[in-house]
């Protein structure tokens, strides 16, 4: 019997939208793309980002603590947990409906609240770089620094934003539970928003003020589940060299070495395409036969059939 191909999908911002109504509409399209892959005979595991959502939750919780003196500020790790539940709810609701619409009744859908351990001495903690939440002017930024101890950085002439550390994922705490569900044929949503960052203190896991990159978290999930494919679904059909320039070249098929060379030459923007290509290279290098694919959400099926996207392999 042919073993089903196991795929970890990393959903980007465009799969989820920026607001509550946008997300509710977006997940319907996302669910179609995912169930297309299931109908192709793939075993699918879903991970996703949370940039706009965690910013929104963080701002809402900050507003609550401004209004009510009894409510202290909400730790970022808790905001990530809230975003996992909120996004997981919309996704599992839409996926279940889409499966039923196609007369597939034997694949239960579940979201796993996922903690991911990071190293407390990860250098990222000394150099917070990931902007979250809304833009502020200089005066608002100063208040945020003084009142909440946020680190604020000017963001390319557009104003100030809070920046947080983005450490590398070291260990998925709930991997055993995720594996059991996946192995028994369930459709699992896990490692949302890059996972809830925690550091180990003996038996205690302490929430960290950080946001893990979802591309790296998805890569670790794919490695741990011994997946065949890591598919990073985003807002472009392919990664490119000389992106945004007249002589742009869209990339179809890359060896790990070619991809590494393009990374060295600085073709991929940090914070957007670079972590995807880095995660794709890491997964493809991790074991023979593993392939990474970067493509557009709507092209996921064409991508898996080898018709489009940027493929990275050994
Ligand atoms: P996601 O929410 O899916 O993580 P990002 O916005 O973080 O999406 O990253 C995808 C974006 O990366 C694309 O929409 C594109 O504008 C940008 N990008 C930067 N460099 C490149 C490149 N070399 N090739 C393709 N896209 C690139
Ligand atoms: Mg991104």
Q: 200 and 301 in one domain?
A: yes
Q: 187 and 149 in one domain?
A: no
Structural domain boundaries, residue 147 = 128-164
pLDDT tens profile 138-190? 999 999 899 888 899 987 778 898 889 999 999 999 999 999 999 999 999 99
Between the CA of 38 and the centroid of ligand 1 the distance, in Å, is 26
User: Is 122 a member of any domain?
Assistant: no
207 flagged as catalytic: no
Judge whether 149 and 176 are in contact, CB under 8 Å: no
Select which of 13, 55, 88, 133 is catalytic: 13
Most confident of 123-137, 155-169, 269-283: 269-283
Question: What is residue 120's predicted lDDT score, i.e. its pLDDT?
Answer: 95
276 flagged as catalytic: yes
In terms of Cβ atoms closer than 10 Å to its own Cβ (0-12, 13-18, 19+), residue 241 is: middle
Report the pocket of ligand 1 as residue ranges, CB < 6 Å: 12-13, 49, 234-236, 239-240, 243, 267-269, 272-273
Question: What is residue 134's predicted lDDT score, i.e. its pLDDT?
Answer: 77
The structural domain count of the chain equals: 2
Q: 73 and 198 in one domain?
A: yes
Select which of 130, 238, 299, 301 is catalytic: 130
Q: 141 and 112 in one domain?
A: no
pLDDT tens profile 48-86? 999 889 989 998 998 999 899 999 989 999 999 999 999
Cα separation, 131 vs 121, in Å, equals 21
User: Is 1 a member of any domain?
Assistant: no
Q: 243 and 154 in one domain?
A: no
Cα separation, 274 vs 289, in Å, equals 23
How many angstroms separate the first and last alpha carbons of the chain?
26
Question: What is residue 2's predicted lDDT score, i.e. its pLDDT?
Answer: 63
168 flagged as catalytic: no
Cα separation, 203 vs 69, in Å, equals 32
Residue 99: which CATH number? 3.40.1160.10
Mean pLDDT of 239-247: 95
User: Is 275 a member of any domain?
Assistant: yes
Q: 297 and 205 in one domain?
A: yes
Q: 149 and 174 in one domain?
A: no
214 flagged as catalytic: yes
């Amino acid at each position: 019997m042919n073993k089903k191909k196991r795929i970890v999908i990393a959903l980007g911002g465009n799969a989820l939208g920026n607001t509550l109504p946008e997300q509710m509409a977006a997940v319907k399209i996302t669910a179609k793309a995912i169930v297309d892959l299931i109908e192709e005979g793939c075993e699918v595991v879903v991970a996703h980002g949370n940039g706009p959502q965690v910013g929104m939750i963080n701002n809402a919780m900050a507003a609550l603590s401004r209004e009510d003196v009894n409510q202290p500020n909400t730790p970022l790790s808790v905001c990530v947990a809230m975003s996992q539940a909120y996004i997981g709810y919309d996704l599992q609701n839409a996926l279940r409906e889409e499966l039923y619409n196609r007369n597939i009744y034997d694949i239960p859908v579940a979201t796993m609240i996922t903690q991911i351990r990071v190293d407390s001495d990860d250098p990222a903690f000394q150099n917070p770089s990931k902007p979250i939440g809304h833009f502020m002017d200089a005066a608002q930024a100063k208040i945020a620094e003084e009142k909440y101890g946020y680190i604020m950085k000017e963001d390319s002439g557009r104003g100030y934003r809070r920046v947080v550390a983005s450490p590398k994922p070291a260990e998925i705490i709930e991997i055993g539970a995720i594996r059991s569900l996946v192995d028994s044929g369930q459709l699992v949503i896990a490692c949302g928003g890059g996972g809830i960052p925690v550091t180990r203190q003996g038996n205690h896991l302490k929430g960290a003020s950080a946001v893990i990159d979802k591309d790296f978290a998805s890569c670790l999930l794919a490695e741990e589940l011994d997946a065949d494919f890591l598919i990073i679904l985003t807002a472009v059909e392919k990664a490119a060299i000389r992106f945004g320039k007249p002589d742009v070249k869209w990339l179809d098929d890359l060896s790990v070495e070619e991809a590494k060379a393009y990374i060295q030459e600085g073709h991929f923007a940090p914070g957007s395409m670079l972590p995807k290509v880095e995660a794709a290279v890491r997964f493809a290098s991790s074991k023979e036969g593993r392939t990474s694919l970067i493509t557009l959400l709507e092209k996921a099926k064409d991508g898996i059939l080898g018709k489009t996207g940027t493929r990275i392999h050994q």
